[in-house]
Each structure stands twice: as C-alpha cells, then as structure tokens.
Amino acid sequence: MKFSKLFLVALGSASFLVSCSNEDSTPLESGAYDKGVFILNEGGDGQGTVSFVSNDLANFTQDVYGTVNTSDLLGKYAQSMFFSGDNAYIIAGGSNVINVVNRNTFRLVAKIETGFANPRYGVVKDGKAYVTNANTYNDYNNSNPAGDIDDYVAVINLTTNSVESTIPLNATANRILLENGKLYITEPFSNDKVLVVNPATNALETPITVGKDADTMEAKDGILYVMRSPYSGSSEIVKVNLSNSNVSAISFPSSLSGAKNLDIYNNKIYYTAGTSVYAMDVNDTSASTTAVLSYTSTSDFGAMYGFAVNNDHIYIAEGGDFKSSSKAYVYSLSGTLEKELTVGIGPNGFYFNN
C-alpha cells in the first residue's frame, strides 16, 4: 500500500522515526540537562513533549519543556530535534513551528513560525539550518498529483532565527543528512532516489538511485548507508560510495521482513525488524538474523517507533496507543534491559546532549 503524505502529517509515520543527534558544535552553557538524552514525544492529536534521562539513567523528567516553560506549548506532532551551539531546535510539524531552546537549561529562546509547511528533519552547516518540508500531499485518490513534487528545504539563518530562502526539490522529502559538505535527502513513497543538494549554491545535484521507500540514513568512512523499508518485498541496506556514487546492496531474508531503523555505532550496523534488534559489522555482506534483544509490543503500528544506539546503550521507544503516556526502554549492547521509562504520548526519537 502506498501511504500518502497525509499519513505522514497525521501520524508521524512509524517507519520514519529513528533519531540521533545532529550536532553543529560543542555546547557552551552548563545546566540541568547537559549530560543526557532527550526523548521526543510526538503527542498524538495533542501537544508534543520532551522527556529527559541523564546518561547514568539516575535522573528522569517526563516533560522537560513543560516543566521549564510553564506558559508555553511545544506544538502538535513533535517530529524531530537538532542542535547547534548552545541551542536545541525542536520541530513541531503539525504546528509549523521550530522551538529554539537552550539545550542545557531548556529555557525557550525563540520560536521560528513562518516559512514552513509540515517541517520534518533538519541539519546545520555554517550558521544555517536546512529543514525538509513535506508541504502538500498526494492523497489516496490522486486528486493532487503535484503534492508529490512540491516539497522543499527551508534555509534558516540561525542568527536571526528566520527562513531566508527555500530550495525546491521537485520531489518528496523526509530525512536529511549532512556529509562532506553536501545534503542528502531521502524521498519516501514516490521516487527511487536520494536527493543531493549543494548548500553552497542551494541547488540540486545529480541524485543517487537507491530504490523506493528509502528511509533512515547514516554515513561512515565515505559510505552512505540507506535503509530501504518497502511495504512489499524485502528490506535492504543500500551502500553508496560517496566518492563515485557506486551503489551496492545487502538484501534481507524474508525472516527480517519490514526491517527498518538503521543506526551505526562502533563499526556495527544496528537495525530492527518487528520487535527485535539486530546487529552486523559494517563490512559484512549479509544481514544477521540473530536478535540482540526482543521486547513485547501490543501497539498496532507503534512497535520500535523510535530507535537509537549511543553511549553503549540501545534505546527503544514504544508508540503505544498514541493516546496516553507510553514507554521508552534502555538496553545494554548485549541486550540486557537497564531502564524502563514512562514518557509522553507517541515517543519517536532520542537526541544525545553529551
């Protein structure tokens, strides 16, 4: 089934929500939250929230934003976060706003509220943020086919906290990754390419063909790793040599149908299938089918709704019923459960403020 971008707006999309930190520079101001993990909670039909757990897992706050900024709301459908200097930028796609907070105290600094149309993910380069926007959508009846080609990147001046320009993509857009001075953008649903944008010129370059339903990406040692999670057929990891755009792929067996959530940590590729986590070496030519860990979920589409590997831990967010507070789990790299946290509604990602 081909999901439309209306589904992206309404639900955040279960297969689009692995999160690690996108960091531009070292933070300068110390505070209560300078050594720990932010857990972004989508919020269901209501307001998003942010939870926090310290690196040693000893201190936890369920709603950091609401605790610190008592007279303000984060916005609907909290989608993702990124960092630059002292600040964290929290994208609330349902409200078309980016909340700028001090990353260590979480005090609100500013709100960027114009220039967006369902903002999704962002990265920072040279004092500017580049944020993908899903814009309008091609609905199930195909009544707006232009909705598959009108997404764009908003270019934000982080000194003025304003959108100074946009980069039309002539395609759909979701995740964005900065590597070697170029922006790489996955095109879910409608195309089989990874888009390439040169931020020096704000222009598209030759895209890279990887196959449809490309989602999470990581880059390491000049290789771009892209997880394809098709709704029918086998998942695969596509490896792109960024020096020459040569492409190879590791196809997953049927036992790993629906694999998603690619993350790389300590030369290992971690990924999920169903409610299990798997790991393979970055140089392996076949996917491991031996689970590192498994957990139980009763959620219709929220299993492994958020996933990350960092700080020698595996982090899992359980979507639950998207109406009430749900759970996040912290495991050791060997699969031992170390912490269970009651977080907000629809937790979808982890962001590391080390």
- Convert the pLDDT of each residue in 23-69 to its tens digit: 554 555 567 899 999 999 999 888 999 999 999 999 999 999 999 99
Whether the pLDDT of residue 16 is over 60: the answer is no
In the chain, the percentage of residues whose pLDDT exceeds 70 is 91
DSSP H helical ranges for 216-347? none
Identify the pLDDT of residue 29. Answer: 58
Pick the closest to residue 237 from 196, 288, 183 (CA basis): 288
Identify the pLDDT of residue 15. Answer: 39
Identify the pLDDT of residue 25. Answer: 47
* DSSP states along 130-197: EEEE--S---TT-S-GGGGS--EEEEEETTTTEEEEEEE-SS----EEEETTEEEEE-TTT-SEEEEE
User: Mean of the pLDDT values across residues 325-330?
Assistant: 98
User: Mean of the pLDDT values across residues 174-197?
Assistant: 93
pLDDT band of residue 135 (cuts 50, 70, 90) is very high
User: Mean of the pLDDT values across residues 317-336?
Assistant: 97
CA 157 to chain CA mean position, Å: 22
Pick the closest to residue 47 from 346, 303, 348 (CA basis): 346
What is the C-alpha to C-alpha distance for residues 304 and 315, in angstroms, rounded to an integer?
10
Among the four given CATH numbers 1.10.275.10, 2.130.10.10, 2.40.50.140, 2.60.40.420, the one describing domain 5-353: 2.130.10.10
Residue 106 has, within 13 A of its CA and on its CB side, a CA count of 25
pLDDT band of residue 148 (cuts 50, 70, 90) is confident
What is the C-alpha to C-alpha distance for residues 209 and 245, in angstroms, rounded to an integer?
9
Identify the pLDDT of residue 69. Answer: 97
* DSSP states along 252-264: PPGGGTT-EEEEE
Angstrom distances, CA of residue 213 to CA of 12, 93, 108: 15, 21, 36
What is the C-alpha to C-alpha distance for residues 235 and 257, in angstroms, rounded to an integer?
6
Identify the pLDDT of residue 27. Answer: 52
Q: What is the rounded average pLDDT for all residues in the chain?
A: 91
pLDDT digits (tens, 9 = 90+) for 58-104: 999 999 999 999 999 999 999 999 999 999 999 999 999 999 999 99
pLDDT band of residue 269 (cuts 50, 70, 90) is very high
pLDDT band of residue 144 (cuts 50, 70, 90) is confident
pLDDT band of residue 187 (cuts 50, 70, 90) is confident
Lowest mean pLDDT among 2-6, 131-135, 267-271: 2-6
pTM of the complete model: 0.93
* DSSP states along 86-147: TEEEEEEGGGTEEEEEETTT--EEEEE-SS-SSEEEEEEETTEEEEEE--S---TT-S-GGG
Identify the pLDDT of residue 178. Answer: 98
Identify the pLDDT of residue 142. Answer: 76
pLDDT band of residue 1 (cuts 50, 70, 90) is very low
In the chain, the percentage of residues whose pLDDT exceeds 90 is 82
pLDDT band of residue 20 (cuts 50, 70, 90) is low
